[in-house]
Amino acid sequence: MADEGLHIRVSGGVQGVGYRFHCRHQADSLNVRGWVMNLEDGDVEMEAYGTHGAVFDFLGEVTRQDRGFLVTDMRYEQIPDNKTYKGFTIRIEQG
């Protein structure tokens, strides 16, 4: 089965609460590749690549409601796999 990707944007209480580190930890544990980054408007953007099951398990973990962060809105779209990512990184927000 071919790997796939998701472009994800989440809103809510997701900055200043360790959310990007949680995303990286979940990605590492699920063998998901990609990146996560804070946006200037308070949202967080990420891309996640891996098997269908791993990517959607990742999506479920990073939107759980029993954590120290609060995701109030989540939008995603499927994108083609990007084989250039070897791991999951935290990107510095662009300014």
Q: How do 70-79 and 4-13 pair as beta strands?
A: antiparallel
C-alpha 4/C-alpha 82 separation (Å) is 8
Q: Which residues are catalytic?
A: 20, 38
- Give the DSSP H/E element, type plus range, for residue 21: helix 19-30
Give the dihedral sign, CA 87/79/38/11: negative
Identify the CA nearest to 21 among candidates 36, 8, 31, 6.
36
What is the token pair recorded at 60?
């479920």
